[in-house]
Amino acid sequence: MKADVNKVKNLSIHVIIIIIITGLCCIHIRALDYIFIINDEFGYWAHAISTAGYDWKDLISQTPYYAWGYSIWLIPIIALLPSPGLWYKAAIGLNVLFLIFSYFLCYQSGRRLFRNADDKLMALVSFLVIIYPSNIVYAQAAWTESLSYMLVWLETYLIVRLDENFSNKYFVGALWVLIYAYAVHNRNIGAVAAGIIALSLVLIKHKKKFWYFPVLFLIMLVGYQGIDMVKNYQIQALWSNSKASGMNNVSLNAATITQYSSRIFEHTGHFLISLFGKYIYLLIGTELTLPIVIYKVFKDSISNIKDRDWWQDYYISKIWILLVAAFMYGICAIQMSYWPARQDYVVYARYMENGFGPILFLAIIYCIMYIRETRAGLLISGGSILIGILPVYYWVTHASGIFNTICSPVIGAFYQAMNSMPKAFGLLVIVLTIVFVVLFGITFCRDKKIKISVVLVGFALVYCVTGHYGGRYALGIRDMIDQKTVPLVEKISDDLKDYDIYYVRNDALDSTCMHPKYFQFLIPDRTIHVVLGEELEQLPDENVIIMVEPEDEEAVGYCERNMGAELIDETWLLRVYSMEGCEE
């Protein structure tokens, strides 16, 4: 009877957590009707929309290449639902499912890593890991972030299972997860590298025959070649081998290694600044607990060496958790080592945060379970913040461009709350001081229930508030774009439904043709053709809509000289003309 009661309680906790995760991700669902992180999202929808039979080829060819692994989830959405608004909401629903699945993978992994811990504690800590502010912010856009995050958790679960008991099924499954992660995004190569190392250690631990190693690398090679073949076909068929198709098109070859190596050796100072800034970001995001894990694993490693038992206590699983975080961190630091047009480049975190779910889980658990490690880790964090917060503030405030909160939600949340970078860092210092004092103070608390309650409530409060403010920037952009697109879309769809649509490309103003992509998504069955300014005279002289950049004086002048041209809309996005029987 008692077991049944516990099962009901655990089920109730899971249901409540699922409801809260869904609510946090979908609180603004009414406003989520179409793409707004324009090139990224358009690139992911491009594969799916083309498979479904729509013709967006002209604008696709002006878009940086994005991998296709996430896009296959969008194909049934397009096939089953009748409108772009519903497509987009369904994509947000997918993100919610990815996070819910991540929650259960985290929970199940945690139950194995800490078999003596209470199941309810595992559930609550897993919940905190999932509502990490960036997860909630990233889930409100149709891109790869939530899927990449889930794949890291799926790989974690499989490695934990392999760590305790080898199985060919789980081994091959772990390999295919790594291959698919690379198909979702090239930057997941960090997770792939960490996974190959962890799986090699699994083979050594379980004393598998030598031929397992060539099989491991053969499967990875076949998977990589398959992904590369699909990519090359897509670039030829949809991107027309355009100049834009070379952007984001990273392959595992000598050219890529040379390119990224040169970033480190030719711009060493910027790379070190990028490493340090993102380290401070992660200390803030993990509420100063990140060094607790590093200290604990290092301490356990020494103990294992002394005991001559390398494999005890899920050592391979913890090596994987550290490696995937470290490799994704390194890749992000290299990619964002210098970007003078971005004020947030020093603390840019989106490229690495999918790899930090498992290490955050360990950090929170260790914070609750171990006193010495918690104190040592917090002292490392406190010293790092004292040394690093002023330099990070200097680098952020002296960089040009905008602070893109979407890609740095943890620090961006403070900026959105205060609307001032000095005030944001001032508030940040106050919050970090409170967190340090509270966490360090509870290490002296003998009441375990109070200790657990303070940690859980503290993390939940900070993450919910930070997630709320971290998402405000994206909502503001959506609201601004919404006012400029919806009225025109309605006019084009109703009054001008038989007109051909052309966009005049001007590389000096917008080399990737961003602005018409909003409209292409919202009117998917109409093709927006891309032409150059000198091709305007070759267009039909009736039933034509022409979209031009407001600053493109030559194209604007041509349209206004034509007697039949009517200006039907003028915003900072586009000037839009309808032309009927135009003459010079």
CB 171 within 8 A of CB 199: yes
Whole-number pLDDT of residue 583: 45
565 vs 66, more confident:
66
* Element at 568 (helix H, strand E): strand 565-570
Tokens found for residue 146: 């939530």
Report the percent of the chain where pLDDT is more than 90: 71
Cα 136 to Cα 147: distance, rounded to the nearest angstrom: 13
User: What's the CA angle centered on 355, arms 258 and 12, to 5 degrees?
Assistant: 165
Q: Token digits for 14? A: 């899971």
DSSP helix/strand/coil, 502: strand
Q: What is the pTM of this model?
A: 0.95
User: In this predicted structure, what is the pLDDT of residue 129?
Assistant: 98
- Pairing between strand 565-570 and 528-532? unpaired
Element (H, E) at 32: none
Query: Please, what sign has the CA dihedral across residues 309, 313, 318, 320?
Result: positive
- Give the pair of three-digit tokens for residue 533: 């300014």
Answer yes or no: are the C-beta atoms of 354 and 148 closer than 8 Å. Answer: yes
Three-state DSSP state, 142: coil
pLDDT band for 342, please (50, 70, 90 cuts).
Answer: confident
Predicted confidence at residue 584, as pLDDT, reads 42
pLDDT of residue 249: 60
Burial environment of residue 564 by CB neighbours within 10 A (0 to 12, 13 to 18, 19 or more): middle
pLDDT band at 247 (very low <50, low <70, confident <90, very high): low
Look at residues 363, 361, 462 and name the one whose alpha carbon lies nearest to residue 102.
361
Residue position matching structure tokens 């081994």: 171
Work out the pLDDT band at 239, boundaries 50, 70, 90: confident
Q: In a 3-state reduction of DSSP, which class is residue 538?
A: helix
Select from 358, 357, 378 the least CA-distant residue to 367: 378
Rounded-to-integer distance, Cα 195 and Cα 159, Å: 8
- Is the pLDDT confidence value at 251 over 70? no
- Show the DSSP H helices in 206-267 as ranges: 212-237, 254-266
CA–CA separation, 440 and 371 (whole Å): 9
Cα separations in angstroms, 559 against 385, 527, 579: 57, 20, 8
Pairwise CA distance, residues 353 & 93, whole Å: 21
- Residue 538 confidence (pLDDT): 87
pLDDT in tens, 204-232: 999 999 999 999 999 999 999 999 899 88
- Torsional class of 240: left (φ above 0), alpha (ψ -120 to 50), beta (otherwise): left
pLDDT score at 112: 96
Q: How confident is the model at residue 254 (pLDDT cuts 50, 70, 90)?
A: low
Give the three-state DSSP class for 14.
Answer: helix
The rounded distance, in Å, linking the Cα atoms of 476 and 343 is 18
Look at residue 33 and tell me whether its pLDDT is greater than 60.
Answer: yes
Name the β-bridge partners of 186.
none
What does the pLDDT read at residue 267?
77
pLDDT in the model for residue 300:
85
Residue 367's pLDDT is what? 95
User: What is the per-residue pLDDT for 563?
Assistant: 57
Which H helix or E strand runs over 309? Answer: none
When pLDDT is cut at 50, 70 and 90, the band that residue 582 belongs to is very low
CB 190 within 8 A of CB 324: yes
Tens digits of residue pLDDT in 265-312: 777 888 999 999 999 999 999 999 999 999 998 888 888 777 777 787
Average pLDDT across the chain, whole number: 91
In the numeric block, the tokens 């890609």 are attached to: 407
Q: Which residue has the tokens 């190693």?
A: 213
Residues facing 578 on adjacent strands? 545, 566
pLDDT tens per residue, range 108-140: 999 999 999 999 999 999 999 999 999 999 999
pLDDT value of residue 134: 97
Q: What percent of the chain has pLDDT over 70?
A: 94
Distance CA 531, CA 535 (A): 6
pLDDT band at 152 (very low <50, low <70, confident <90, very high): very high
- What single letter denotes the amino acid at residue 2? K
Model pLDDT, residue 305: 78
What is the 3-state secondary structure of 352-413? CHHHCHHHHHHHHHHHHHCHHHHHHHHHHHHHHHHHHHHHHHHHHHCCCCECCHHHCHHHHH
